[in-house]
Structure 1
Amino acid sequence: MLAAQYNPGKKGLTLKNDYPVPYPGPGQILLKVAACGVCHSDIAFIDGSVLPHPLVLGHEISGYVVKAGEGVAQAFEKDTLYAVLAIHHASQSLNGLPALFDSPGAAYDGGFAHYVLVRPDQLVPVPAGVSPELAAVAADAGINAYKFVVRSAQVDSTCKQTVLVIGVGGLGHQAVQIAAHFGATVYACDPKPEAREVALKLGAVEAFSPSELETKVAEGFVVNVAMDFVARKSTFEAAKAALRNNNLSFPADPRLIVAGMTSETLEFSTLDTLTYNLTILTPQYGSRHDLEAILELYAKGAVTPVVSSHPLTEINQVLDDLRSGRVLGRTVVIPGEVEQSSTVNGIRDDYTRL
């Protein structure tokens, strides 16, 4: 099968046409990958050589069940599309890495391939009308955007909130839609004009460049939720500044959600948190319920991710585009069809349902 393998110290991924098709062991499911999203964490793994061993990357996966291993009691429909819950909250530390890394494309081979092994409890049925590309995006960008907006920021239709989304990327552009769907007045900030245009089309009432936001804050602009999907010093400071114009009566609980992943050190003092009654949260991956909820919003058309797709063979170009900031929304790769000429571990490469 075709697979894109990470090797520590190498900038790109190595495309291998003869990567072994895995065989499901006890308690495992073999999934035919329909689509796999490309994430900034994939770049962090590659450029930082974070992972200690070679493996296939890709954790934002959708696909179809091909074969169940011994001991899998649950029945799975072989023509049903499933999204893969990348991180189970019962995960334990693995090989000295945090539990966050106990996921496909981090602890074991992921979805930049024709097939991937998963556990039964990772599979979430995808509602009718949701494409494989959207189902893949839901498995990371979608689930996290939903959790950060609804559960971390506590945006809901019972309380009219004002939300600032900093960074209108793969997660941020969905956060704009989710917050607007739940009744918030949404503002956005991004240095790219095209990203600001996307934010306005998706429900933001205003979209600022970083310098425009700084001017607005100096003039008294205020929100009660700021979501930093970039997590750099400059964006963290901008998020704090947009919350400092609050007082203790409006609102009672301003929140700053740090939703990006960088190695930069972000600083705050107790003067920030006590004087402005500020809560700073750094949430991790969402739950199964969050994944089900965002898939339902996709199915209803309440949230429509901006997604572009490319063949898996173009993975290194996709990674370069993401590094360079040339991606709007989210990008997925499609493994496509496989040659029908061989059998590996008793599984035909034409992925006939077994």
Structure 2
Amino acid sequence: MFAAQYNPGNKDLTLKDDYPVPHPGPGQVLVKVAACGVCHSDVAFIDGSVLPYPLVLGHEISGYVVKSGDGVTQSFRADALYAVLAIHPSSQSVNGLPALFDSPGAAYDGGFAEYILVRPDQLVPVPAGVSPELAAVAADAGINAYKFVVHSAQIDGTRKRTVLVIGVGGLGHQAVQIAAHFGATVYACDPKPEARELALKLGAVEAFSPSELEIKVAEGFVVNVAMDFVSRKSTFEAAKAILRHNNLSFPADPRLIVKAGMTSETLEFTTFDTLTYNLTIVTPQYGSRLDLEAILELYAKGAVTPVVSSYPLREVNKVLNDLRNGDVMGRIVVIPGEF
């Protein structure tokens, strides 16, 4: 089969036409990959040589079950599309890495290939009307955007919330839609004019550049929640600044900063920040099966529509370079086999 293999120390994935098709062992199923998202964490794995062993990357996967191993009692229709839950409840530390890495494209071969092995409990049925491309995006960007908004930021329709989404990228542009769907007043901040325009189209009432946001904050602009999908020093300081300006009565609900992005930068805060300004800083991880089911339903209803571009898997190195250079709007998926 065709696959794109990561090798530590190499910036490009190795494209192989003769990568062996895996055989499902006990408790495994063989999935024909329909689409696989390309994530910033894939770039981080490659550029930082995070994984010390070669394997096929790709953890944002949708596909069809073609074969089951011994002991698998579930039956699967050949034409039924599934999204793959990357991190399942029994995930554990592997190869000296945390349980978060017990996932396709990190602990074992992932979706930058024509076939992949997974466990049956990783498969989540995709509702009718949701394409393989959207189903793949749901498996990481979608599930996490949903969890971060609904559970971490507590935007679930039960109370009136104002939220600032910092970084209108693969997760952020979905967070804008999810928050608006649940009745929040949504603002957005991004240095790219096209990202700000997208945020307005997707439900934000205003969208600012970083310099415009600084001026707005100085004028007294406030929100209840700041969701930082960038997580650099500059965006963390902006999130703290916009929440400090809230005029608080006592006692009051905490002002939330949701750290939804991942970088290696050191971010600083003091107990003076958290206690005096009543800040709660939340650093969520991957969502649950219920979260994946929920975001797939929002896709099916048209309440959330991710911006997705598709490329052949053979162009995955170009896609990775586009991500490195910040030349991607929304999310990108790669399609194995014929395109």
- TM bracket, shorter-chain basis: over 0.9
Tell me which amino acid in the other structure corresponds to 1:58.
G
Given residue 117 of structure 1, which amino acid in structure 2 is its aligned partner? L
What residue is the counterpart of 1:289 in the other structure?
290
Q: Aligned with 2:311: secondary structure?
A: strand
User: Which string of whole-angstrom CA distances, capped at 9 and with x for unpartnered residues, describes residues 261-301 of structure 1?
Assistant: 11111110001110111110000000000000000000000
Deviation at 1:78, TM superposition (A): 1.6
Q: Is 2:34–2:63's contact at 8 Å kept on the other side of the alignment?
A: yes
Matching residue of 2:312: 311
Give me the whole-angstrom Cα distance separating, in 1, the residues matched to 2:89 and 2:205. 36
SS in 2 for 1:261: coil
In angstroms, what is the RMSD of aligned CA positions? 1.0
Contact preservation (8 Å) 2:2, 2:337: no
Deviation of 1:68 after TM superposition, in Å, equals 0.4
**Deviation at 1:53?**
0.3
Cα distance in 2 for partners of 1:83, 1:123 equals 6
SS in 2 for 1:34: strand
Partner of 1:256: 257
TM-score, normalised on structure 2? 0.98
- Find the counterpart in structure 2 of residue 115 from structure 1: 115
Is residue 298 from structure 1 mapped to residue 299 from structure 2 by the alignment?
yes
| 1:249 Cα deviation after fit | 2.9
2:60 corresponds in structure 1 to 60
Deviation for aligned residue 1:253: 1.8
Q: Which runs of 5+ in 1 are unaligned?
A: 339-354
Which amino acid counterpart does residue 206 of structure 1 have in structure 2? E
Per-residue CA distance 1:49-80 (angstroms, 9 max, x = gap): 00010000000000000000000011112210
SS at match of 1:65: strand
Displaced runs of 4 or more, over 3 A: none
Contact 1:247 1:276 in 2 (8 A): no
1:247, CA displacement in angstroms?
A: 3.1
* AA matched with 1:296: E
Q: Deviations over 1:219-261 (max 9, x none)?
A: 1010000000001000111111111111333962210000101
**Residues 271 and 322 of structure 1, relative CA distance in 2, 3 Å threshold:** same
Deviations 1:102-150 (A, max 9, x none): 0000000000000000000000000000000000000000000000000
How high is the sequence identity, in percent, across the aligned residues?
84
* Partner Cα separation in structure 2 for residue 290 and residue 196 of structure 1: 27
Give the conservation status (yes or no) of the 8 Å contact 2:25–2:70.
yes
- Matched to 2:71, the amino acid is G
Q: In structure 2, how many angstroms separate the alpha carbons of the residues matched to 1:272 and 1:247?
A: 15
Aligned residues: 338
How far, CA to CA, are the matches of 2:211 and 2:261 in structure 1?
20
| 1:124-143 equivalences in 2 (<5 Å) | 124-143=124-143
**Deviation digits for residues 137-185 of structure 1, max 9, x if unmatched?**
0000000000000001110222110000000000000000000000000
Q: Tell me the equivalent position of 2:38.
A: 38
Work out the CA distance in 2 between the residues paired with 1:209 and 1:203.
17
Question: Matches of 1:167 and 1:213 in 2, distance apart?
Answer: 13
Q: Secondary structure at the match of 1:321?
A: helix
- Whether 2:26 is the aligned partner of 1:26: answer yes
* Structure-2 residue corresponding to 1:148: 148
**2:61 touches 2:84 (CA, 8 Å); kept in 1?**
yes
